[in-house]
Amino acid sequence: MSALPQSTQRAQRVALVSVLFVLSAAQSLGGEFPADGPAAASFGFINWLVLFAYLAVLVFIGWRCARREKTTEHFFLGGRTIPWWAAGLSLFSTILSAITYLAIPARAYATDWTLLPVNLCVLLVAPVIVFKYLPVLRRENITTVYQFLEKRFDRSIQLFGSASFILFQLGRMGIVLLLPALALSAVTGIALFLCIALMGLLATLYTVLGGIEAVIWTDVLQTFVLLGGALAALVLIVGRLEGGFTDLLDIAKAANKFHWVNLDASLITDSLLVVLLGGIFTNALVPYSSDQTVVQRYLTTPDEGAARRSLWLGALMVLPATVLFLSLGTALFVFYGQHPGALTELASNEQILPWFIATQMPAGLAGLVIAGVFAAAMSSLDSSMHSIATSVVTDWLKPTGRPRAEAGWLRLARRITLVAGLFGTATAAALATMEIKLMWDYFLGLMGLLGGTLAGAMAVAVFLNGVGVRQLWLGIGAAVAALLFVRFRTGTNPLLLGFIGVATVVAVSWLASLVPFARREPGKPRTG
């Protein structure tokens, strides 16, 4: 067996020392971050054993993949040799964050199925991505989606796209770690800082070692753990209901839990119009067209046909997964309605699933399902840190023309990945003392401001060949102004921010291109 390259060995040592240092600090400082909420359930030795065995498998995958990472092409895109089904499962796992894993059952438990159309809108957007965006992106032979913006417009638009993506991911990483960590800590007794450190540092370790291959193959494993854990919890709940599945249907129907369409005309509530526009634009078009963490998946496959199949797989999995998570939340409502003594006071509805896992599921199985929550957070974090490194190196550093050997670029990519992972973990720990509601509002605002505007720029690049650089900048400026006004001066539902961003960029850019003086600068034509 060949020895690991020196750069890989160095990356292993640096990442491992960082992980051990932070985990040691977590052990001694964990008590400084108490979680508010119910009295914690005893997690138990067997559950700990299962959880740590699962985490060890993730690190092993990263170590194995490290042996093949000798170029940035392989570190960023896996040599474009990833099987379509693995890329599709990774795509699904990346979109499904731990917040979603906890929030969808919590929403169904507390209210109804009104948000079902939000996720189903992915199926409406998928054909557009497959037949319009994907061919263009694959034919350009690019590493990041923002390189396409440079080819279509100029470097200023590329840097705008890359900067928007990086800022969004930096703001997102801490939140996707902290929110599930709060729920887990409150109901299992695991110190909050230890939860954050376990998820953040171990995800950093296997990503630094194995690059995109480690990210994708751990995502494949985590997809099965995520869905298997949720299915196991649902089966267990139904088995413990007095009337089984019949009780679940009858009681939930009587409580109007399966209600999924709100015909209000309001733009503040989750009305059907808000849900559809939010689902199509914010939840689907924004990530699938302009988010490097998503687009990178269908750039890793051998050809366009494989990329197409991976995208369809990731999109089609959304339907059964959404129904599963909504059913789980509804089943929890019925279960605790029949067994009110089994439920203590919870600080938030997001703790309802972890509480059931910790108190009702058999030892070992509970550890595996809790590992599923860890998996959801880690699959989002590993994608963010790796894609940040990909974008920094590809969009910012390599174009400067500074000479550097391929091994040097690979070392730099690993270092940036390490810094991004440590930043996300540290941010989650720092945010632990802040007001969660305000933090979540900030995240939604950031998503609409950056994601919607960027997706609008991509839509212009793909569909409006006559729009040039100046016209697009006018559209971007108008969208930023509109989003700031809507976000902070009105009570408009945050789900609409993606639609507002995309629509404003496209409309203003197109109108500007009709002005006679603007037509003299049409921009570069698409080559795809």
**pLDDT tens digits, 157-178:** 999 999 999 999 998 898 889 8
37 and 165 share one domain: yes
Residues 6 or more apart whose Cβ sits within 8 Å of residue 442 = 171
> Is residue 236 within 8 Å of 355, Cβ to Cβ?
no
344 pLDDT above the threshold of 80: yes
Please report whether residue 352 resides in a domain.
yes
pLDDT band at 270 (very low <50, low <70, confident <90, very high): confident
Return d(Cα 267, Cα 500) in angstroms, integer: 12
Co-location of 200 and 317 in the same domain: yes
Nearest to 29, CA basis, from 195, 193, 184, 199: 193
Domain-embedded: residue 265: no
* Residues 1-24, mean pLDDT to the nearest whole number: 53
- For residue 199, pLDDT over 70 is answered with yes
Same structural domain, 231 and 151: yes
Asked if the model's pLDDT at residue 30 lies above 50, the reply is: no
Give the ranges where 317-405 is alpha helix by DSSP (H): 318-338, 352-360, 365-391
487 pLDDT more than 80: yes
Q: Report the helix count and the strand count for the chain, using DSSP H and E.
A: 24, 0
Neighbours of 503 (CB within 10 A): 18
Maximum C-alpha span of the chain? 74
Residue-level pLDDT at 1: 45
In this structure, is residue 120 part of a structural domain? no
User: 297 and 192, same structural domain?
Assistant: yes
Check pLDDT > 70 for residue 26: no
| End residue of a domain, out of 379, 407, 431 | 431
The CATH number of the domain where 41 resides is what?
A: 1.20.1730.10
> Does residue 307 lie in a domain region?
yes
Asked, for residue 133, whether it belongs to a domain, the answer is no
Among 407, 431, 455, the domain-final residue is 431
Percent share of the chain, pLDDT over 70:
87
**364-378 mean pLDDT:** 86
Write down the pLDDT at residue 436: 58
Confidence band, pLDDT 50/70/90 cuts, at residue 17: low
Which of 392, 414, 431 corresponds to the end of one domain?
A: 431
- Quote the pLDDT of residue 14: 52
Q: Is residue 383 part of a domain?
A: yes
Do 362 and 419 share a domain, yes or no?
Answer: yes
Do 472 and 373 fall within a single domain? no
Q: Is pLDDT above 50 for 409?
A: yes
* Lookup: tokens for 61: 């995958």
| Co-location of 417 and 483 in the same domain | no
Percent of the chain with pLDDT over 90: 63
CA 104 vs CA 85, 206, 326, 360, 483: distances in Å: 25, 28, 6, 20, 26
- Which of 229, 202, 528 has its CA nearest to residue 364? 229
What is the span of the domain harbouring residue 484? 434-528
Judgement on whether residues 417 and 455 belong to the same structural domain of the protein: no
Cα-based distances in Å from 407 to 72, 142, 215, 404, 414: 8, 20, 21, 8, 11
Separation of first and last alpha carbons in the chain: 43
- A 10 A CB-CB count for 324 gives 17
| Predicted pLDDT of residue 518 | 53
At residue 37, does pLDDT exceed 50?
A: no
Strand, coil or helix: 42: coil
Torsion angle of C-alpha atoms 341, 347, 349, 351, degrees rounded to 10: -80
Q: Is the pLDDT of residue 155 over 90?
A: yes
**Is 161 inside any structural domain?**
yes
Provide mean pLDDT across the span 235-249.
Answer: 94
Task: Express each pLDDT in 58-79 by its tens digit.
Answer: 999 999 999 888 899 999 999 9
Q: Which residues contact 23 (CB under 8 A, 6 or more apart)?
A: 194, 197, 198, 201
Least reliable range by pLDDT among 96-100, 241-245, 254-258, 350-354: 96-100
Indicate the pLDDT class of residue 95, thresholds 50, 70 and 90. confident
Residues 102 and 230 in one domain: yes
Instruction: State the pLDDT confidence band at 347, using cuts at 50, 70 and 90.
Output: confident
Q: Same structural domain for residues 513 and 379? A: no
> Which has the closest alpha carbon to 244: 254, 253, 234?
234
CA distance 460 to 467: 7
Q: Residues 229-238: what's their mean pLDDT?
A: 94
| Cα–Cα distance, 473 to 159 (Å, whole number) | 13
Q: Are residues 422 and 450 in the same domain?
A: no
* In-domain check, residue 263: no
Number of domains within the chain:
2
Examine the domain organization and report whether 422 and 449 are in the same domain: no
Report the pLDDT value the prediction gives residue 154, as an integer from 0 to 100.
95
Q: What is the DSSP string of 430-462?
A: HHTTS-HHHHHHHHHHHIIIIIIHHHHHHHHHH
pLDDT at 34: 39
Q: Cα–Cα distances in Å, from 10 out to 17, 185, 388, 424?
A: 11, 34, 21, 22
| Residue 483, pLDDT score | 93
